[in-house]
Structure 1
Amino acid sequence: MSFLRLTASAACLLITALEGVAAADIAEPTLVTAVPAMREIALVGFTRALAEAPLVAETDGRVQALFADVGDRIDDSGRFARLDTAFLQLDLEEVGVQEERLRSQVEYDQREVARFRELVRQNSASASQLDTLEQSLRDNSHALRALDVKRRMLEERLARATISAPVGWSITARDVELGQWVRGGDTVGRAADFSTLLVPFALTPEQFAALELARPDLALEVLDPGNSADPTIRARIHRVNPGFDPETRKIAVELALTEPMEPARGGLRLRLRLRLPEATGAVSLPPSALDSSYEESWVIRESGERLSALQLGPDALNPDLVRVTAPGLKPGDRVRVVGGR
């Protein structure tokens, strides 16, 4: 009798253990998360300078010297060209002579005014004579100040006879020759700053969103050999135009290279690769999440709902996944692994 009771108890324990294992298998199926099926697009852009500016003559004159040609970099003097300043220098010499004469005259007038003030105090000279001398002193002092203004104007014109460009910029155009007459306001050349290269792109809103996601690890592929030791070069978003172009309906974005390229110039080709979700709305799943029979495939949601699925082939960006579409299945949904339930 005791033996029968022990046998029955053992059988009950075994059944309970098996039911617990089965319940655990049902309660905790192996799940995977559907991710968007991605496609890659490639856009090619061309480098350009960080900034560019025209070089403009500020005064009339004949070109006397040229200090840089196309392709040259502006040195520390900041000079591009100089106009003839012979007549300006002669005018300055004339002003200098007049200033020296007036200073001497003012000093004489000051002594005469002081002397006549003493004579008037002693009633040895008339007040009208003193007034005349004081008026002469004022007139000559005003004339001396006017000459000082004229001298400073000539010095400013002399300085502006040198056509300057920012130090370190490169000349991209030279539209003047030695001996050529130029007028104030004429553009005589152009200079650009190639210290940082920009690459402009026109992106759709979806492409711009993908660019924002890639911002921490943004890199461009170098297409022109010999301009970089590495096949890729790092970049950052430099500027985004907030305006709207009704023709392209795209967002104008400028990327700045954060690493040098040699030679630094415009027109170098760089490729931008962006990953975008497929327009079909497909998701990517591991093959183990698909079950099939004959020509039919399906996936099972976390809730146990079975969805008919269409396989679109392997994920080109992740060979371990397959692209799938199923009614109502979207990125982020959890599905069961076949055999994991």
Structure 2
Amino acid sequence: MVRQLVALAGLWCFALPQVQAQDRPGVELAPVETSDIISEVSLNGTVNALRTSELSTAVAGLVEDVRVETGDRVARGDLLVGLDDEQAEFELASARAEASEALARLEEAQRRLAEARSVGAGRNIAATEVSARESEVAATEAALARLRAEEKRRQVVLDRHRIEAPFDGVVSDRISDLGEWVTPGDQLLTLVDTTNLRLDFRVPQDYYQRITDDSRLLVQARGADQKPVPVTIESLVPVSDPQARTFLIRATAPEDLNVLPGMAVQATLRVSTGERGLTVSRDAINRYPDGRITVWIAEAVDEDLYEVREKRVEVGSGFDNRMEILSGLEGDEEVVIRGNESLEEGARVRLAERGSR
């Protein structure tokens, strides 16, 4: 009996540390890092179409055919508006007939010249006659060239009675209607390219010199419930608005950003300050009503056992889920980023997970 009690006591003593370890709160740790300090600025911008055309006519005429309505999507080359082209067709047919007539005269002149040359000048035909026939061929060739040019001009005039889409897009406004007389320069409709969109933002001039190829721009549609999407800064316009002291940056809208021309967008611009400093995860920061800001530092006691102590810190700017630490840390510590809600000074905790940041 005594032996059994001794054995049970030994087992209890052996298991007690394991039970105590399991009862200790589990925390996740992450190292304090030295990294580039990033400055963030919030921007408001607008979605603009790369191409917006107010289509007009190059010839005067009566609107005879209207193929589109506001909101219709069209492809390049689609007929949008047609003008009455009956007279233009007749004029083209007349020009073609005149060109055909001139071609026939040229062929006859060339035949007569070849005949004169085959006989030979000075024998049965005068040399002046050969020269005259050569001049006739040259004049007829020139007349044919002029009439063919006129035929092409008439073809161009006829084609201009068709107003076609210069690119894929959406008809945002249609002004002309059937039966209206239009003249060159009159606006008929507006076509907007909705596939090639640009995001335009005005940035404070203080950031101009700090924007580099490594700068990041995160964009989301205003009021949209979606995560910010990283976009590429396409151009940086080196001209400042003298009134607002801002300059323009333009980015290409990615396909996964669901926006349309004219919509408002908001963005966060991240640029390097050119400095390096200590940073920790935002989750490591504890803020108190009295203004104190602290982090919990974990120091290893055993392989998976740590002792924590609270350290007051001064923070700087925040960026990319990180916070800059201005004072209070040395840089070689590990801080608690999960499970730090109810820790006590000097408490011992077990490692549940180790974070990389």
Q: Specify the TM-score bucket, using the shorter chain as the normaliser.
A: 0.5 to 0.7
Pick aligned residue for 1:267 from 249, 262, 267: 262
**1:292 alignment counterpart:** none
- State the Cα distance separating 1:224 from its structure 2 match: 4.3
- State the Cα distance separating 1:151 from its structure 2 match: 0.8
TM alignment of 1:103-182, pairs within 5 A: 103-119=103-119, 121=121, 123-182=123-182
Native 8 Å contact 2:46 2:200 kept in 1: yes
Native 8 Å contact 2:70 2:174 kept in 1: yes
Native 8 Å contact 1:78 1:167 kept in 2: no
SS in 1 for 2:229: strand
1:185 aligns with 2:181: no
SS in 2 for 1:154: helix
Question: How far apart are the structure 2 equivalents of 1:172 and 1:332?
Answer: 59
TM alignment of 1:286-305, pairs within 5 A: none
Question: How far apart are the structure 2 equivalents of 1:331 and 1:205?
Answer: 30
Native 8 Å contact 2:172 2:190 kept in 1: yes
1:240 aligns with 2:236: yes
SS in 1 for 2:185: coil
Aligned alpha-carbon RMSD (Å): 4.9
> What CA deviation, in whole Å up to 9, does each residue of 1:239-267 have, x standing for no partner?
221111110101212232213455x5223
The 1:148–1:224 alpha-carbon spacing in structure 2 relative to 1, beyond 3 Å, is same
The 1:318–1:116 alpha-carbon spacing in structure 2 relative to 1, beyond 3 Å, is closer
- Stretch deviating more after TM superposition (48-57 or 149-158): 48-57
The 1:94–1:312 alpha-carbon spacing in structure 2 relative to 1, beyond 3 Å, is same
Native 8 Å contact 2:43 2:202 kept in 1: no
- State the Cα distance separating 1:150 from its structure 2 match: 0.8
**1:21 alignment counterpart:** none
Give aligned pairs, total.
Answer: 281
SS in 2 for 1:106: helix
The runs of 5 or more residues in structure 1 that have no matched partner are 1-30, 278-282, 289-294, 298-309, 325-329
Instruction: Provide the identity percentage.
Output: 19
**2:93 alignment counterpart:** 93
Amino acid at match of 1:219: L
Question: How far apart are the structure 2 equivalents of 1:111 and 1:334?
Answer: 104
- State the Cα distance separating 1:313 from its structure 2 match: 9.2
The 1:120–1:65 alpha-carbon spacing in structure 2 relative to 1, beyond 3 Å, is same
SS in 1 for 2:51: strand
Q: Counting helix residues as a fraction of each chain, which structure ranks higher?
A: 1
Native 8 Å contact 2:237 2:247 kept in 1: yes
- State the Cα distance separating 1:220 from its structure 2 match: 2.4
Question: How far apart are the structure 2 equivalents of 1:62 and 1:182?
Answer: 6
Q: Counting strand residues as a fraction of each chain, which structure ranks higher?
A: 2
The runs of 5 or more residues in structure 2 that have no matched partner are 1-30, 273-277, 285-290, 294-311, 334-344, 347-357
Native 8 Å contact 2:315 2:327 kept in 1: no
The 1:185–1:296 alpha-carbon spacing in structure 2 relative to 1, beyond 3 Å, is closer
Amino acid at match of 1:80: L
Question: How far apart are the structure 1 equivalents of 2:321 and 2:102?
Answer: 93
**2:60 alignment counterpart:** 60
Q: TM-score, normalised by structure 2?
A: 0.60
Amino acid at match of 2:160: R
Question: How far apart are the structure 1 equivalents of 2:199 and 2:243?
Answer: 21
**2:218 alignment counterpart:** 219
Native 8 Å contact 1:222 1:231 kept in 2: no
Question: How far apart are the structure 2 equivalents of 1:207 and 1:152?
Answer: 56
SS in 2 for 1:68: coil
Native 8 Å contact 2:59 2:183 kept in 1: yes
Native 8 Å contact 1:224 1:268 kept in 2: no
The 1:116–1:214 alpha-carbon spacing in structure 2 relative to 1, beyond 3 Å, is closer
- State the Cα distance separating 1:124 from its structure 2 match: 3.3
> What CA deviation, in whole Å up to 9, does each residue of 1:189-243 have, x standing for no partner?
322221133332212245665897651xx43234445xx8x44434222322111
Native 8 Å contact 2:314 2:327 kept in 1: no
Amino acid at match of 2:52: E
Q: TM-score, normalised by structure 1?
A: 0.62
Native 8 Å contact 1:284 1:315 kept in 2: no
Question: How far apart are the structure 2 equivalents of 1:318 and 1:131?
Answer: 89
Native 8 Å contact 2:121 2:127 kept in 1: no
1:255 aligns with 2:251: yes
TM alignment of 1:26-37, pairs within 5 A: none
The 1:315–1:204 alpha-carbon spacing in structure 2 relative to 1, beyond 3 Å, is closer
Native 8 Å contact 1:56 1:189 kept in 2: yes
Amino acid at match of 1:63: V
Native 8 Å contact 2:67 2:81 kept in 1: yes
